[in-house]
Chain A
Amino acid sequence: MTHFPILSLITFLPLVGALFIMAVRGDATVVAQNARSVALWTSGVNFLLSLVLWFNFDTATAAFQFEEKAEWMPVFNVTYHMGVDGISMLFVLLTTLLTPVCVLASWDSIKDRVKEYMIAFLVMETMMVGMFCALDMVLFYIFFEGVLLPMFLIIGVWGGPRRVYSAFKFFLYTLAGSVLMLLAMLAMYFDAGTTDVPALMKHAFPVAMQPWLWLAFFASFAVKVPMWPVHTWLPDAHVEAPTAGSVILAGVLLKFGGYGFLRFSLPMFPEATVMFTPLIYTLSIVAVIYTSLVALAQEDMKKLIAYSSVAHMGFVTVGAFTLTVQGIEGAIYQMLSHGVVSAALFLVVGVVYDRMHSREIAAYGGLVHRMPAYSLIFMLFMLASVGLPGTGGFVGEFLVLVGAFQANSWVALFTATGVILGAVYMLFLYRRVIFGKLTKESLMKIADMSPREMAVFAPLVVLVLWMGVYPSSFLDVMHVSVADLLKNFEAARAAAETLAVAAN
């Protein structure tokens, strides 16, 4: 390890910021103001630092980059191992981008316990970045589970009226899945003798063992994605979470599942992956169609967007398991663009929630008369969510479907119906909130977006168009890693086949 430990820096800088905030003492308003500034500065600088990753990233190699390795628990052969490849690097950037956005979005809307709130967010950033960088199973698990705590608190403390129910539901659901994953990790450790992720990727797990390991990981990842039918925690959590909590939840936490599939399930258990692909397809298609229809019936804006997230993540799981270049790249791209778009949509809801304290669709209508700039931004992200070409939403969905069509045309057919249904519920939402006459007394004085709010959206607006018009900036990062993933996958399957033949 000769180079600068940039990944550790990006991972732990927020934690330092959190400690700093913790140390702030004095008058409540001053503390709050300081906490906000420190959180913004820390996360902002962290974002700039993470750009270094992007600029110095070598798109020609599939190997892990910016690696750091240090002894940690030598008895168990556990190391502190960090590194990123083309699959994980962009998620780090997504995280570091969304955190300052969240801090800025919470500037005025959080008034109680600002200090604790900002600490929770910075701790969460550490956990999230760590999760995407971790190359050791134990380390991964710690970060993976560690995220739960700050999120649990954010929903439970700063949430809406039913926050306690939602927080527990969120916590228990995700924890229940993770327990099984922990068991599987133990089993893997006993089989392979290491917890090092790259080593595990090369290790050939016995074919008989793979389905059990796969299912255990699946239990954890499926809850995170979330896949149907373990998705019901998500709408509740979103509805009760404060705006920024929803942003992180939809923008980053949901990607843990998809990332986990690509990092663990696919490369480590290829036989089981092939075996369970029909299951994934089925659940994903149900998710796409079922949750789209449910979204159509929603009366609560946040719930509608939460359900649309489930439907969009259904595309991700389909894409990942098509085992085609387009499918997997599409899945990653869909996760990234969904990270931006759904984050923005929750912020969009947050803007009017801050003013009216209602998420009911029926409480709005005709906002365009008072809030033209807001309407325009809402329109842009609505279209991105619908997957209009030229926005980030299109590229991911399209690639996933291209991949799916090659793997199984029925899957592509059913999944593609989500594109129609998506248009229906989003346009219907937009119409009810934005268009129509402005008749409600309560809305007569509603103000358009403030400069601070525009600053929150600006980076997301740029990004969603950039991702739509010139996706190569992002796709180029993944090419080699995805190709390598598929190559190893095929090789592992071929090896298993030879073994099976030899055994006969």
Chain B
Amino acid sequence: MLYFAAVFLPLLGSAAAGVLTFLAPPVEEKERRHRYDTAAQWLTSGPLLLSTVLAWIIFFDVTMGGNARTVDLFTWIDSGALEVSWALRVDSLTAVMMIVVTTVSAMVHVYSHGYMHHDRSIPRFQSYLSLFTFFMLMLVTADNLIQLFFGWEGVGLASYLLIGFWYDKPSANAAAIKAFVVNRVGDFGFALGIFTVFVMFQSVSFDTIFAAAPDKADATIQVFGGEFHALTVACLLLFVGAMGKSAQLGLHTWLPDAMEGPTPVSALIHAATMVTAGIFMVARLSPLFEFSDTALAVVTIVGASTAIFAATVGCVQNDIKRVIAYSTCSQLGYMFFACGVSAYSAGIFHLMTHGFFKALLFLGAGSVIHAMSDEQDMRRMGGIWKSIPVTYALMWIGSIALMGLGIPGLNLGFAGFYSKDVILEAAYAAHSGVGAYAFWLGVLAAFLTAFYSGRLIFMTFHGQPRADEKVMAHVHESPMIMIAPLLVLAAGAVAAGFLGYAYFVGHDTVAFWGNSILVLDKHPALEHAHHVPTWVKLAPIVVGFGGLILSFVFYVAVPSIPGALANFFQGTYRFLLNKWYFDELYDALFVRPAFVLGRGFWKAGDGALIDGVGPDGIAAATRGIARRAGRLQSGFVYHYAFAMLIGVVVLITWYLLSHAG
């Protein structure tokens, strides 16, 4: 009942606000409209806050009390051996996800009261937010692959709706479609992965497949014209889905564009929760991934490559939200390679801390945008820190947490300090080729992370004001309804690492996670992570400070350097600014050909070929024959006589020939 309430309260709120969308009077009737808007806000935020409280109760009950449970609701799909139920499965992994999802979501709900204040469709916005939360909770409480898929596509839908929330903007619509379609490409892999799992195990429920996985560790499967290691095939296909949802290299192109959505959406969906679903999936399926070293290696390489790729791009973007978006992409890469070296719990730990500080950064950026009259370009900001000191301070907290700065001797720092370090240490401690790859790229990415975070702060808040006077005159601190949620998230960004370390990755880790994550004895990276050389422990902090100092030099001390560098390395700069030309590549490879082919098939295939030769051709031929047959009836006797004669000749010939043999 507790589980049920926690998951379905947001749906209820969403439905209520959805109804209000249709009942609300036109915007012109300000007074009445305002009452409807407020009602919608509280009808969604209320259930969500309640759901958050429940999630925390569940969290303590499950992780500390050890009460992992699955609640079966009712049958969903039942066809032959395929039996799937709607169920709520809550173990430690789910419980962690639940608190992250509900807490961040509740904060975003409340924050939106202020941020969306001037919007014309508040009930619709709140309804979408709650709908998203419901799907996300269904995703994390799934007890089988298909319900996971349900939540997976459901959050995709919510993301589509919210990216395209301002549907008057063509760019927002395009971004929404792009997000949905790119995710569909990932889901295509996910679905094939589910089929593979089903063929292997004749089941898709987690309990069954996890129990049977060790027996199938060496099994092979005949697919796609060859015989492959079955679990590797399954895991790789499923991982394609994770890559789509978590915007990993190759399928990342939708995430930066998703910033077209309102900023609270970016914070909730495209930073803290939905995009982390891929990491959750890999961790959830650790009992499968553990048996495929190939799949784990791929996860590591993809994660590490994304971490560095996105960090490089993040360093040159000018839109404040896009910088944070690429940062998210990069941090997700960290989480993946943590999973890839079997340090799943470290990945989830970073997921949680990241959820807090990245949501904080996004909402903080939203506060800045709010203050700057909807300006998002950092080139037109600057010199505003005195006007919005609280936002400024909160942005520093978020950034320091993101950079992973701390005091190594005392082992004291903000959230990212704990979680990012343990990931890098685990990568190093994996003592494998891919582990080393991940470690070095991760350290480099940490340097870039600090650099672009510093750049963001300095460009946004320091230096000479670059906005026009009208905007500058209007710069103001956000109202309390927006600041309060930021404070909660800031508390998380400060303390989550310190408080969680022992449980998530430290010495209480086994009791904390229970059976929710499986790590084989042959993959001890996380255990060994605590015993790495000191330089490994120090490296991320050193490069972090290095990056921060460099950004200070570039953007505060000697602001002429970046321009000079960009001019000098123009090729590289353009390459980075244009995000490695992925969009252009995909456009040329897939988007244009699809339209050209479609038109070609339609006009040439259906029109000229099939109809031309088929019905229309036959019709034309029939008409032609009829006309000619008509012409035969000329009325002259000798024509008919001639025809008869030929007929007789043919008949006799045929008779003779057929009887001769």
Asked if B376 is at the interface of the complex by the 8 Å CB criterion, the answer is no
Does the CB pair B181–A424 fall under 8 Å? yes
Which residue of chain A has the shortest Cβ distance to B195 in the bound complex?
A405
Which residue of chain B lies nearest to A417 when distances are taken between CB atoms in the complex? B188
> Are the C-beta atoms of A436 and B21 separated by less than 8 Å?
no
Query: In the complex the two chains form, is B22's CB within 8 Å of A373's CB?
Result: yes
Whether A295 and B22, one on each chain, are in contact in the complex, defined by CB atoms closer than 8 angstroms, is no
**Which of B148-156, B259-267, B566-574, B642-650 is found at the contact surface with chain A?**
B148-156
Complex interface residues of chain B between 157 and 199 (CB less than 8 A to chain A): 157, 160, 164, 167-168, 170, 173, 176-177, 180-181, 184-185, 187-188, 191-192, 194-196, 198-199
Q: Shortest distance in angstroms between B18's beta carbon and chain A's nearest beta carbon?
A: 8
Closest 10 CB pairs of A and B: A325-B80, A297-B598, A405-B195, A293-B598, A389-B150, A435-B167, A296-B598, A409-B223, A297-B599, A294-B602
Given contacts A389-B149, A406-B199, A294 and B78 within 8 Å (CB-CB): no
Q: Does B658 contact A (CB under 8 A)?
A: no
Known: A233-B615, A413-B192. A326 touches B184 (CB 8 A): no
Chain A CB within 8 A of B74 CB: yes
> Which of B79, B187, B199, B224 has the most A CB atoms < 10 Å from its CB?
B79
Q: A293-B598, A293-B601, A402-B195 are in contact. Are A413 and B224 (CB under 8 A)?
A: yes
In the complex, per-residue mask of B1-35: 1 if CB is within 8 Å of any chain A CB, else 0 = 00000000000000000000110000000000000
B632 adjacent to chain A (CB < 8 Å): no
Complex contact B173–A388 (CB within 8 A): no
Q: How far is the CB of B125 from chain A (nearest CB, A)?
A: 14
Task: Pick the residue among B74, B177, B615 that contacts A427 (CB under 8 A).
Answer: B177
Quick check: A232 and B614 within 8 Å, CB to CB? yes
Which one of A229, A293, A326, A405 lies within 8 Å of B192 (CB-CB)? A405
Partner of B173 from the list A390, A419, A435, A475 (CB cut-off 8 Å) is A435
- With contacts A232-B614, A436-B170 known, is A423 near B181, CB below 8 A? yes
Flag if B153 contacts A372 (CB, 8 Å).
no
**List of A residues within 8 angstroms of B149 by Cβ:** 389
Say yes or no for A172: interface residue by CB 8 A criterion. yes
Please tell me if the beta carbons of A420 and B601 are within 8 angstroms of each other in the complex.
Answer: no
**A475:B153 contact, CB within 8 angstroms:** no
Query: Do A330 and B79 have beta carbons less than 8 Å apart?
Result: yes
Q: Which of B305-313, B410-418, B604-612 is the contact stretch?
A: B604-612
Distance between Cα atoms of A366 and B169 in the complex (Å): 11
Q: Can you give 20 contacting A-B residue pairs, CB < 8 Å?
A: A173-B615, A229-B610, A230-B614, A233-B615, A235-B606, A325-B81, A326-B79, A330-B79, A372-B21, A372-B22, A390-B150, A390-B154, A401-B191, A405-B199, A409-B222, A409-B223, A417-B188, A436-B167, A472-B75, A475-B77
Q: B597 at interface (Cβ–Cβ under 8 A)?
A: yes
Nearest CB on B from A301, distance (A): 15
In the complex, the chain A residue whose C-beta lies closest to that of B75 is: A472
Residues of A within 8 Å of B192, CB to CB, are 405, 409, 412-413, 416
Contact A410 B79 (CB under 8 A): no
Which of A172, A424, A428, A476 has the largest number of chain B CB atoms within 10 A?
A424
Q: Is A101 an interface residue (CB 8 A)?
A: no
**Interfacial chain A residues near B75, Cβ < 8 Å:** 470, 472
Q: How large is the interface on B (under 10, 10 to 19, 20 to 34, 35 or more residues)?
A: 35 or more
- How close is A287's CB to chain B, nearest CB, in angstroms? 11
When the two chains form their complex, are residues A410 and B224 in contact, meaning their CB atoms are under 8 A apart?
yes
The SS class assigned to the A binding surface is helix
A184 to B326, CA, bound (A): 64
Which residues of B have CB within 8 Å of A416? 188, 191-192
Interface of B (DSSP majority class) = helix
Do A419 and B595 have beta carbons less than 8 Å apart?
no
| Given the contacts A398-B146, A410-B224, A413-B224, A437 and B595 also touching, CB distance less than 8 Å | no
- Say yes or no for A383: interface residue by CB 8 A criterion: yes
B588: Cβ under 8 A from any A Cβ = no
Q: Mark A120-144, 1 if CB is under 8 A from B, else 0.
A: 0000000000000000000000000
The answer to whether B615 and A172 have CB atoms under 8 Å apart is yes
With contacts defined as CB atoms under 8 Å apart, how many contacts are there between chain A and chain B in the complex? 147
A375 closest partner in B (C-beta): B167
Q: Does A298 contact B (CB under 8 A)?
A: yes
User: Binary interface profile of A, 390-403, with partner B (CB < 8 Å = 1, else 0)?
Assistant: 10000100110110
A169 in contact (CB, < 8 A): yes
* B582 close to chain A: CB less than 8 A: no
Q: Report the interface size class on chain A.
A: 35 or more
Q: Does A264 make an interface contact (CB < 8 A)?
A: no
Q: Which of B79, B168, B173, B595 contacts A296 (CB 8 A)?
A: B595
Cβ-defined partner of B157 (8 Å) among A383, A421, A436: A383
Given contacts A390-B150, A475-B77, contact A420 B602 (CB under 8 A): no
Q: Does B652 contact A (CB under 8 A)?
A: no
Interface residue? A431 (CB, 8 A):
yes
Asked whether any CB of chain A lies closer than 8 Å to the CB of B594, the reply is yes
Shortest Cβ distance from A412 into B: residue: B195
Nearest residue, chain A, Cβ from B199: A406
B82 at the interface (CB under 8 A from A): yes
Distance (Å) between the CB of A228 and the closest chain B CB?
9
Chain A nearest CB, measured from B58 CB (Å): 24
CB of A381 to closest CB in B, whole Å: 14
Give Cα A169 to B617, complex, Å.
Answer: 12
Cβ of A420: which chain B residues have Cβ within 8 Å of it? 181, 184-185, 188
The residues of A that contact B222 with a CB separation of less than 8 Å are: 409
CB interface residues, B 519-571, toward A, < 8 Å: none
CA A423 – CA B177 in complex, angstroms?
9
Given pairs A235-B606, A329-B80, 14 additional interface contacts (CB within 8 A): A232-B606, A296-B594, A298-B602, A389-B149, A389-B150, A399-B77, A399-B79, A409-B224, A421-B594, A431-B164, A435-B173, A436-B173, A470-B76, A475-B79
B225 within 8 A of A: yes
Tell me the minimal C-beta distance from A238 to chain B in angstroms: 14
A417-B188, A471-B76 as given contacts; A297 in contact with B595, CB under 8 Å: yes
Among A233, A325, A389, A428, residue most surrounded by chain B Cβ atoms (within 10 Å)? A389
Q: Are B615 and A471 interface neighbours, CB within 8 A?
A: no
A469 contacts which chain B residues (CB < 8 A)? 76, 86
The reply on A368 being an interface residue by CB < 8 A is: yes
- Residue of B153, B177, B184, B199 touching A428 (CB-CB under 8 A): B177
The answer to whether B184 and A294 have CB atoms under 8 Å apart is: no
Q: Give a binary string over B280-309; 1 marks a CB under 8 Å from any A CB, 0 the rest.
A: 000000000000000000000000000000
Residues of B within 8 A of A436 (CB): 167-168, 170, 173
Question: Is there an interface contact between B170 and A427, defined as CB atoms closer than 8 Å?
Answer: no
**CA A389 to CA B194, docked complex, whole Å:** 14
A428 to B594, CA, bound (A): 13
Contact with B along A273-314 (1 / 0, CB 8 A): 000000000000000001001111110000000000000000
Q: Which residues of B contact A297 (CB under 8 A)?
A: 595, 598-599, 601-602
Check A96 for interface membership: any CB of B closer than 8 A: no
Q: Which residues of B contact A427 (CB under 8 A)?
A: 160, 176-177, 180-181
Chain B's closest residue to A410 (CB) is B224
The smallest C-beta distance from A488 to any residue of chain B, in angstroms, reads 16
A324 contacts partner chain B, Cβ-Cβ < 8 Å: yes
Query: Could you say which residues of chain B place their CB within 8 Å of the CB of A479?
Result: 79
Interface residues of A in 476-500 (CB under 8 A from B): 476, 479
Q: Which residues of A contact B80 (CB under 8 A)?
A: 324-326, 329
Chain B residues, CB < 8 A from A421:
594
A297-B598, A398-B146 given; A431·B615 CB < 8 A: no
